[in-house]
A = this chain, B = another copy of it.
Amino acid sequence: MESAILLISCPDRKGIVKEIASFIADNGGNILHFDQHIDYQREIFFARVEWDIKDFRIPRDLIEEAFKPIAEKFHMDFSLHFGDYLQKVAIFVSKQDHCFYDLMQRFKSGELRGQVKLVISNHPDLKPIADFFGVPYYHIPKSKENKKEAEAKELSLLKEHHIDLIILARYMQILSKSFVDKFRNRIINIHHSFLPAFPGAKPYHRAYHRGVKIIGATSHYVTEILDEGPIIEQDIIRVSHRDSLEDFIRKGKDIERIVLARAVKWHLEHKVLVYDNKTVVFD
C-alpha cells in the first residue's frame, strides 16, 4: 500500500488535529488511520497518522519539508515513514533457536514485513537455520577481551547493510552504551520474565524458586540500563507446583516467541512511539 505515516508528539494545545488533517486533506490525501493519545498528566499529544499518497499532490521526498512549518508551530517531534518501504533487519542470536526460527518463518510468510539482511551470533550453532532461510550468518565470538573489536565488526556490518532495526532473539550478550546509542529505540530485546520482576540473569530459575503462579516475557527497546528500557509488549502463562524448572523454561518459550514477534511487527509498522521510557503502541 502506498501510504505515508507520521508519528508525532508535542505539547497538547488546541488545533493540532485540525492542522494535521488539513495538511493531508488540502493536498489530496485520504486518511487511512488516525490514532491519537493525550497524556493528561504531562499534557503531551501523540499521534500516528497514515494516509494514502496515491493522489497526494506533494511528492514523497518533499513531504517532510512541507510538513515542517506545522511541526515548528506546535513544537512537534515527528518522523515520517512510508508503508511500502521494507525495513532492513539484523537478527542477533546465541544458541537458543526458538525465537530465531519463529521470526524467520514470520518474515518468510510475509506476516512480518521487512528484509532480514543478516544474522549475527557469538556462536556458530544456528548457522544451518540461517542457511535454510537463505540469510548470511556472521559468527562473531565475544569475550571480555575482544568486546570492543567484536562490536566494531558488528557495527561495520550493520552500516554496510543499512540496517534499520536490530532484533535480539535471545542474544546472551550485553551491548555497550556506545553501540546502543547508535540504534536508539531501534534495538528490540526479548527478556524472559515479566519485567520488572526478575531482571537480569536466570529469571526462570528465580521465578521457580519464588514459587510464582504465572511467568511471563517482555519485549522492550534496549537502553544502556539492563532490562530497564521502554516496554513494548508483555504476556504471561500460568504455571503450577506441577511444573518443574524445565517446564517453566519450555512454557516460557511460547510466550517469548509471541511477545517478541508482536513487538517487532508493531515496530515495523511504525506503531510504537517512545517517550519518558514508556511506549505508546497504536495497535
**Which A residues contact B (CB, under 8 angstroms)?**
12-18, 21-22, 24-26, 28-41, 46, 97-98, 101, 105, 109, 111, 132, 194-198, 210-214, 216, 230-236, 240-242, 244-245, 250, 253-254, 258, 261, 276-281, 283
Of all chain B residues, the one with the shortest Cβ separation from A212 is B231
Chain A to chain B: the 7 pairs with minimum beta-carbon distance, closest first: A211-B278, A18-B21, A197-B197, A18-B25, A17-B21, A15-B25, A241-B280
CA distance A189 to B65 in the complex (A): 53
CB distance from A13 to the nearest CB of B (A): 7
Contacts of A196 in B (CB 8 A): 197-198, 210, 212
Contacts of A234 in B (CB 8 A): 212-214
Partner of A241, one of B31, B197, B278: B278
What DSSP secondary structure best describes chain A's contact surface? mixed
CB distance from A137 to the nearest CB of B (A): 15
CB distance from A271 to the nearest CB of B (A): 11
Of all chain B residues, the one with the shortest Cβ separation from A278 is B211
Contacts of A38 in B (CB 8 A): 32-33
CB distance from A73 to the nearest CB of B (A): 13
CB distance from A106 to the nearest CB of B (A): 9
Q: Contacts A211-B231, A231-B210 given; indicate if A25 touches B14 (C-beta within 8 A).
A: yes
For the A-B complex with A194-B197, A195-B212 known, give 10 more contacts whose Cβ atoms are closer than 8 Å. A12-B30, A17-B25, A31-B36, A34-B34, A39-B241, A195-B197, A210-B278, A211-B230, A240-B281, A240-B283
Partner of A211, one of B16, B279, B283: B279
CB distance from A218 to the nearest CB of B (A): 8
CB distance from A51 to the nearest CB of B (A): 9
